[in-house]
Amino acid sequence: MIYRITRRAALAGVASIAMIAAGATSALAEGWKPQKPIEMVIMAGQGGGADRLARLFQSIIQKEGLASMPVLPVNKGGGSGAEALRYLKDNEGDAHKIMATLNSYYTTPLRTDIGVDIEEFQPIARMALDTFVLWVNADSDVQTLDDFVAAVKASGGEWKMGGTGTGQEDSLVTAMLEKEFDIKVTYVPFGGGGDVAKNVVGGHIDSSVNNPSEALGFYQAGKMRPIMAMTPNRLDVFPDTPTATELGHDIVYWMQRSFVAPKGMPAEAVAYYTEMFKNLSQTEEWQTYTREKALMADFLSGDELQAYFLEEREKHAAILADMEGDGAS
Amino acid sequence: MLIADRVIAIAIMALSAYFMWHAIALPIGWNGMTGGPGGGAFPFWLSLIMLLSAGGVLIRSLMQAPSSQHFFDSQMLRSVILVVVALFVTIALIPVLGAYIAIPLFIFWYIKIYGRHGWVLTAALTIGTPVFLFFFFEVTLKILLPKGVTEPLFFPLYAMFF
Amino acid sequence: METLALLADGFATSLSPINLMIVILGVTAGLFIGAMPGLGSVNGVAIVLPLTFIVPPSSAIILLCAIYYGAMYGGAISSILLGIPGASTAVATTFDGRPMAQQGKAGLALIAAAVASFVGGTISVVLFTLFAVPLADLALAFGPAEEFALVLMAFTTFVGLGGDDKLKTIIMICLGLVLSTVGLDLISGQPRLIFGDLPGFYSGVSFLVLAIGVYGIGEILYTIESSRTAPQVTPAKISLRDLGDGIRTMNRMWRTMSLGSFLGFFVGMLPAAGATPAALMAYGIARSTSKDPKSFGKGNIEGVAAPETANNAASTGSLLPMLTLGIPGSPTTALLLGGMVMWGLMPGPMLFIEQPDFVWGLISSLYTANFAAVAINIALIPLFVWALRMPFTVLCAIVMVLCIVGGFAPSQKMHDVWLIAGFGVAGYLLRKADYPLAPLVLALVLGPLMEKSFRQTLISEQGNVLAFIERPLSGTFIAIAALFFVLPLVKYLRKGGRRSVAPAE
């Protein structure tokens, strides 16, 4: 039925396009609206932390009716997000594509030459900063940071630190720890944060730098022990865990959860999405979630966000240079 | 039959060599310090086994007596090639004309011209398939298919169903 | 006894009229999604996840479980009717399901799959009800070394037994394993085999793409070439008597089905392993312990029953680490986990204590979903069988369109559609030249897990290869794997027959 309308009455179709186009222009005056479903590209595979968060956003948007068209998540996690970055680059000017980012937004273009300059992308909104905590198994003798450093040194390099893939956030945090405390660990890469936490609890690795949300369940069951939070202030969910800053070490590392758009997205569309995420950040669901999962809900948009991205890229370039300088693989 | 067997074996050998050439971009050796094989080791050595085995198949077929059996039935080969070409053309057209033009064209060709079925069946399938695809994939599953130049035609449909 | 009381409370929730409606709707939707080549439970669950906010969490999880179960049942439909596994878990079902359909026994095969799925689902839900909490510790005992040993075991129970050309089997295994390394190397974080920097290869070669290519397009091309000389598919018929026959036949297979259920449940429970190795192992064991192993792969009904019990049992098993540990064993359970987090539930060891209503509501809904799935599935079998009676050219056209769209849908990349077409032509040629295709597909499924766990173990053990044997659990698995490898060899040597054993990797 519908098919016949579009196909047979081609002329009528063309006429209707003209009308829609006219309608769209008049709509512009009142503010831009998406004309088709919005594609939310996720820089990670299905089921990981980034994916879950992106789908949470999708659900809240849908539940609260924050967008006039559905938001459809698409995973393009290949090559640590290289696939997603290239895809965004190839869709210049598209007003119906946004991308959920994590720190591989900086590290992937820095580590491999994929012909993408993130400066060209259009920043939309930073929703949150995720935190990192140093964890050990609850049965371990390690109670404090000093115990940890001593235990790693005593192991002669055989201390097993688990984390996500080499070159991703966990390995950077590990490199920062190694440098700060002059220690050497064996870094074991796993597919995802949940997998890492499970291996800590199962005793297959000695420690991890999981995000709180990944290890919270085990922590509440008394199976994992937080040693140190890599944040400036103590986290509400772990009030007794000291921060690195408190202990006199300058280790602060965040995982940013932001949205960006392709280069050349019309300004009205950028405004629309920024507004959408601003409304999202004020919803009850989001605020509860960030509180429970120890996320810092720190909304940022526009030029400030771009400045933040570029500053972070510099920082990551320095950390990566350090890592490679050490000959760590 | 034997000739085809040899050609395929040689093609596999070439493919293995090509894989090996790409695999050596990463270390292929055993490094005790970083715990075992490098990133290129698995693809490299497995491709080597593949290369040697395909070589074995080739040598074996060279030693066999020629058989009269043909690899392809020459009459049927024509239809296979036709279908393959139609398939490739359809796929090439999808990003340009959109799935909702390319796929009906393919169905029309397959049912009417290749399959020589009647007009009623052809029309039913040529119209029914895209309608089904739209409602099943786009409306129900929220998976958008490529539309190419036909994209603007779908704006009113999106407005109606989403 | 406390368990039973809690379960009764759960049933009170899941049997309310509105929830029953949800189950029926969810199962039917899941069945059709699962029956579509390329789409599986992940797609179904991902789509309805946001919708679940309009209903209370207990009803929402029932909807999700119903879709999950429905899709697991549906996966067998595409495997049997079209010979295209809709998901990696359904690969083993094609081996005997497809030949049965070609012999005109599609109805019987579908009944067998439905009944087997029901048995597997039911046994595993009972195991789940009774032992969920204590079993969680077993899942934790699995580190990378054990994972490797398990996958190796799955591989040897399966490969190494075929009667195909030895050299060609080796080539296909290697090709599958090499294809599985395409994309990002997790350990070094470097891209590899991306063939001149094609972004499409960054995420590797997906199992679905290869399976749809060789089993979908490749099979059609092969049939086109042979079809005009000999009609290839015997028209299938189905009647009520067949149903009775089917169930009676199944009644003789309790050994296979209970084995498949236990195996499926325990292997499915292990995060990262999941339903695919379980189904393959169940098939391999059913074949090697059968009185008539030669009939497998030629339409033996046990070859349908074994993997179908196992993969359904495994899908229940994989809920266990998700609920008790908060670790998803598969993409689908990862999405379910995401859903629970959105409802403010915290999966993990505390869930059973803090949210018993939810947990037992979920478990009881597994029972109802399972019943609904088997009933709806059997009711729809005539429809599916009728679809097979279409003229061959019509069926071909429709299946090819489904291959194109189904290949595009999961990743939404034209790159994958091109790969499907390429694999289709390659698969057709290889098949004509007597290269076995099953080892190729299996190697691609198991390869990534094998390489990753192998290298993770070596890294944490400072390159000590003996670590695999020294750890008790993995040592046991390696020993079993070795046994499976040697056993058929010994059998053939004793018979003095033709050696048709292909060495596994």
Element (H, E) at B56: helix B41-63
Q: Looking at the predicted structure, is the pLDDT value of residue B48 above 90?
A: yes
Asked whether the beta carbons of residue A13 and residue B151 sit closer than 8 angstroms, the reply is no
Cβ neighbours of C3 (radius 10 Å): 13
The confidence score (pLDDT) of residue A126 equals 95
The confidence score (pLDDT) of residue C65 equals 85
Asked whether the beta carbons of residue B153 and residue A3 sit closer than 8 angstroms, the reply is no
The confidence score (pLDDT) of residue A19 equals 43
What residues contact residue C239 under an 8 Å CB cut-off, 6+ apart? none
Q: Which residue would you say has higher pLDDT here, C466 or C137?
A: C466
Asked whether the beta carbons of residue B153 and residue A1 sit closer than 8 angstroms, the reply is no
Angle at C161 between CA C155 and CA C162, to 5 degrees: 110
The confidence score (pLDDT) of residue C150 equals 85
**Contacts of A among chains (3+ CB pairs under 8 A):** B, C
Asked whether the beta carbons of residue C50 and residue A58 sit closer than 8 angstroms, the reply is yes
Give C460-468's long-range contacts (Cβ < 8 A, gap of 24+).
C460/A160, C460/A186, C460/A188, C460/A204, C460/A205, C460/B35, C460/C144, C461/B35, C461/C145, C462/A158, C462/A186, C462/B32, C462/B35, C463/B30, C463/B31, C463/B32, C463/B33, C463/B35, C463/B36, C465/B36, C467/C145, C468/C145, C468/C148, C468/C149
Residues 303-332 of C with CB under 8 A from B: none
User: Tokens in use for A176?
Assistant: 């920062």
Nearest CA in chain A to B133: A3
Q: Looking at the predicted structure, is the pLDDT value of residue A30 above 80?
A: no
Q: Distance between CA atoms of C158 and C179, rounded to whole angstroms?
A: 19
The confidence score (pLDDT) of residue A22 equals 42
Strands C190-192 and C183-185: antiparallel
The confidence score (pLDDT) of residue B131 equals 94
Q: Which residue would you say has higher pLDDT here, A141 or C35?
A: A141
Q: Would you give the distance in Å from CA C57 to the centre of its chain?
A: 28
* Segment A103-154, tens digit of pLDDT: 999 999 998 888 899 999 999 999 999 999 999 999 999 999 999 999 999 9
Q: Is C163 exposed, middle or buried (0-12, 13-18, 19+ CB in 10 A)?
A: middle
Contact list in B for residue C414 (CB cut-off 8 A) is 91, 94-95, 146
Beta bridge partners of A258: A101, A126
- Secondary structure of C27-88 in HEC code, one letter for each residue: HHHHHHHHHCCCCCHHHHHHHHCHHHHCCCHHHHHHHHHHHHHHHHHHHHHHHHHCCCCCCH
SS3 A75: strand
* Segment C104-136, tens digit of pLDDT: 888 889 999 999 999 999 999 999 888 877 777
User: Tokens in use for B75?
Assistant: 């009459």
Q: Smallest Cβ distance to C168: which of B37, B57, B80?
A: B57
Q: Looking at the predicted structure, is the pLDDT value of residue C237 above 70?
A: no
Q: Looking at the predicted structure, is the pLDDT value of residue C281 above 50?
A: yes
Nearest CA of chain B to the CA of A13: how many Å?
7
Rounded to the nearest integer, the mean pLDDT of chain A is 85
Nearest CA of chain A to the CA of C32: how many Å?
21
According to the per-residue pLDDT averaged within each range, which of A191-195, A250-254, C154-158 is highest?
A250-254
Give B65-73's long-range contacts (Cβ < 8 A, gap of 24+).
B66/B2, B67/B1, B67/B2, B69/B1, B70/B1, B71/B1, B71/B3, B71/B4, B71/B5, B71/C432, B71/C433, B72/B4, B72/C225, B72/C432, B73/C225, B73/C229
Q: Are B67 and B117 in contact (CB under 8 A)?
A: no
Nearest CA of chain B to the CA of C188: how many Å?
6
Q: Are A130 and A255 in contact (CB under 8 A)?
A: yes
Element (H, E) at C7: helix C2-14
Q: Distance between CA atoms of C210 and C441, rounded to whole angstroms?
A: 7
The reply to whether A242 touches chain C by the CB within 8 Å rule is: no
Strands A254-261 and A97-101: antiparallel
Element (H, E) at A257: strand A254-261
Contact list in B for residue A39 (CB cut-off 8 A) is 144
Q: Are C126 and C135 in contact (CB under 8 A)?
A: no
Given CATH 3.30.420.40, say whether it is the number of domain A137-252: no
The confidence score (pLDDT) of residue A20 equals 45
User: Tokens in use for C22?
Assistant: 């949800």
What confidence category does residue C244 fall into, taking pLDDT thresholds of 50, 70 and 90? Answer: confident
Q: Is C267 exposed, middle or buried (0-12, 13-18, 19+ CB in 10 A)?
A: buried
Contact list in A for residue C462 (CB cut-off 8 A) is 158, 186
The confidence score (pLDDT) of residue C388 equals 76
What residues contact residue A218 under an 8 Å CB cut-off, 6+ apart? A197, A200, A201, A224, C325, C326, C348, C349
Q: Smallest Cβ distance to C459: which of B34, B87, B121?
A: B34
User: Tokens in use for C185?
Assistant: 């190397």
Q: Would you give the distance in Å from CA C168 to the centre of its chain?
A: 25
SS3 A49: helix
Q: Distance between CA atoms of C67 and C28, rounded to whole angstroms?
A: 8
Nearest CA of chain B to the CA of C227: how many Å?
9
Cβ neighbours of C101 (radius 10 Å): 26
Contact list in B for residue A4 (CB cut-off 8 A) is 127
Q: Smallest Cβ distance to A46: which of C199, C334, C456?
A: C334
Q: Which range among A292-301, C230-239, C401-410 shows the weakest confidence by mean pLDDT?
A: C230-239
Asked whether the beta carbons of residue A4 and residue B130 sit closer than 8 angstroms, the reply is no
Q: Looking at the predicted structure, is the pLDDT value of residue C202 above 60?
A: yes
Q: Looking at the predicted structure, is the pLDDT value of residue C427 above 80?
A: yes
The reply to whether C414 touches chain A by the CB within 8 Å rule is: no
Asked, colleague to colleague, whether A35-130+255-321 and A137-252 share their fold, the answer is yes
Closest Cα to residue C170, out of C180, C160, C158? C160
Q: Which residue would you say has higher pLDDT here, C278 or A269?
A: A269
DSSP conformation class of C391: -
Contact list in B for residue C188 (CB cut-off 8 A) is 26, 38-39
The dihedral built from the CA positions of residue C290, C293, C295 and C301, taken in this order, carries a sign that is positive
The confidence score (pLDDT) of residue C425 equals 95
DSSP conformation class of A118: G
Q: Looking at the predicted structure, is the pLDDT value of residue B49 above 90?
A: yes
The confidence score (pLDDT) of residue C27 equals 92
* Segment C350-392, tens digit of pLDDT: 787 778 888 888 888 888 889 999 999 988 888 888 877 778 8
* Segment B149-159, tens digit of pLDDT: 998 999 999 88
Q: Smallest Cβ distance to B142: which of C47, C170, C454?
A: C47
Q: Is A1 exposed, middle or buried (0-12, 13-18, 19+ CB in 10 A)?
A: exposed
Mean pLDDT of C339-351: 75
Asked whether the beta carbons of residue A36 and residue B156 sit closer than 8 angstroms, the reply is no
Name the residue type at position B105.
L
What is the C-alpha end-to-end distance of chain C, expressed in Å? 48
Q: Distance between CA atoms of C81 and C402, rounded to whole angstroms?
A: 13
What confidence category does residue A5 fall into, taking pLDDT thresholds of 50, 70 and 90? Answer: very low
SS3 A236: coil
Strands A254-261 and A300-301: unpaired
The confidence score (pLDDT) of residue A142 equals 94
* Segment C436-449, tens digit of pLDDT: 888 888 888 888 88
Size of interface A-C (CB pairs under 8 A): 163
User: Tokens in use for C320?
Assistant: 């266990």
Q: Which residue would you say has higher pLDDT here, C198 or C238?
A: C198
Q: Which residue would you say has higher pLDDT here, C196 or C497?
A: C196
Backbone angle region of A115, left / alpha / beta, with phi > 0 → left and psi within -120 to 50 → alpha = left
* Segment C288-312, tens digit of pLDDT: 888 888 888 888 999 999 999 998 9
What residues contact residue B135 under an 8 Å CB cut-off, 6+ apart? none
Contact list in A for residue C330 (CB cut-off 8 A) is 47
Contact list in C for residue A112 (CB cut-off 8 A) is 190-191
**Contacts of B among chains (3+ CB pairs under 8 A):** A, C
Asked whether the beta carbons of residue B153 and residue A72 sit closer than 8 angstroms, the reply is no
Asked whether the beta carbons of residue A189 and residue C341 sit closer than 8 angstroms, the reply is no
Asked whether the beta carbons of residue A69 and residue B162 sit closer than 8 angstroms, the reply is yes
The confidence score (pLDDT) of residue B33 equals 60
What confidence category does residue C251 fall into, taking pLDDT thresholds of 50, 70 and 90? Answer: confident
* Segment C49-63, tens digit of pLDDT: 777 766 777 788 788
In chain B, where the domains are located: 2-63, 74-161
Rounded to the nearest integer, the mean pLDDT of chain B is 88
Element (H, E) at A126: strand A122-131
Beta bridge partners of A256: A129
Q: Which range among C3-7, C206-210, C213-217 shows the weakest confidence by mean pLDDT?
A: C3-7
The confidence score (pLDDT) of residue A268 equals 93
* Segment A258-289, tens digit of pLDDT: 999 999 999 999 999 999 999 999 998 899 88
* Segment A145-204, tens digit of pLDDT: 999 999 999 998 889 999 988 888 899 999 999 999 999 999 999 877 878 888 899 899
- Return the percentage of chain C with pLDDT > 90, whole number: 15
- Return the percentage of chain C with pLDDT > 70, whole number: 91
What confidence category does residue B134 fall into, taking pLDDT thresholds of 50, 70 and 90? Answer: very high
Mean pLDDT of C80-102: 86
Multiple choice CATH, A35-130+255-321, 3.20.10.10, 3.40.190.150, 3.40.50.880, 3.30.1360.200: 3.40.190.150
